[in-house]
């Protein structure tokens, strides 16, 4: 599948994408830290966190990974699954769903709509799978900017949760 929107091409992810995804995650940690946000993902680069590399490799081999490319270069990544991570204190949906387990974009490309394009692709994959429910969870701390991003992309707040002292928000989007 080769979806293209705004010059951004979406393709299935493969294990060989792990270095690019880890680079985006490391860049996101540095970007958040530069803005004073050390609570969301901490201060350690994702690639140096215990289990970080292995988690990305599992995402790329055991889930439904998607890579956003611009001019042939990876600029975003999304991982879809059939539900939330079992490690998170999130209630299972009462119906079949697709769940966004990971969404990250290259922080050097902020403002290009990469995340929105990936989320639109997730909605299409939900429809293609004959499902109506797409969910995601995210950090609900700070000024709520991340929650607002998902709301701008058609999601509605459903439940809040705590993972330790990390405040989270689950959001849902109905697709037809």
Binning pLDDT at 50, 70 and 90, where does residue 94 land?
A: very high
- The yes-or-no verdict on residue 167 having pLDDT over 80 is yes
4, 2, 20, 40: which is closest to 113 by C-alpha? 4
Binning pLDDT at 50, 70 and 90, where does residue 149 land?
A: very high
User: Cβ of 16: how many Cβ atoms within 10 Å?
Assistant: 8
Mean of pLDDT over the chain: 94
Confidence (pLDDT) at 27? 95
pLDDT in tens, 43-86: 999 999 999 999 999 999 999 999 999 999 999 999 999 999 99
Binning pLDDT at 50, 70 and 90, where does residue 105 land?
A: very high
Strand boundaries in the chain, DSSP class E: 3-5, 8-12, 64-70, 73-81, 98-105, 133-139, 156-163, 166-174
- The yes-or-no verdict on residue 2 having pLDDT over 50 is no
- State the Cα–Cα distance between residues 150 and 171, nearest whole angstrom: 8
14, 5, 21, 2: which is closest to 116 by C-alpha? 5
Verdict on whether the full-model pTM lies above 0.85? yes
- What residue has token string 């990469």? 114
From residue 8, alpha-carbon distances to 49, 110, 115, 120 in Å are: 30, 13, 11, 12
């Amino acid at each position: 599948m080769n979806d293209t929107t705004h010059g951004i091409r979406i393709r299935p992810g493969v294990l060989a994408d792990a270095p690019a995804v880890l680079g985006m995650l490391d860049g996101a940690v540095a970007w958040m830290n530069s803005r004073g946000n050390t609570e969301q993902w901490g201060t350690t680069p994702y690639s140096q966190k215990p289990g970080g590399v292995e988690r990305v490799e599992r995402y790329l081999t055991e889930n439904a990974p998607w890579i956003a490319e611009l001019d042939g270069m990876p600029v975003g990544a999304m991982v879809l699954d059939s539900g939330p991570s079992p490690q998170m204190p999130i209630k299972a949906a009462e119906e079949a769903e697709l769940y966004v387990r990971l969404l990250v974009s290259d922080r050097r490309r902020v403002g290009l709509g990469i995340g929105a394009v990936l989320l639109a692709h997730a909605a299409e994959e939900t429809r293609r799978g004959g499902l109506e429910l797409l969910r995601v969870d995210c950090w609900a701390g700070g000024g709520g900017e991340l929650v607002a991003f998902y709301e701008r992309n058609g999601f509605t707040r459903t439940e809040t949760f705590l993972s330790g002292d990390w405040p989270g928000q689950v959001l849902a989007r109905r697709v037809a």
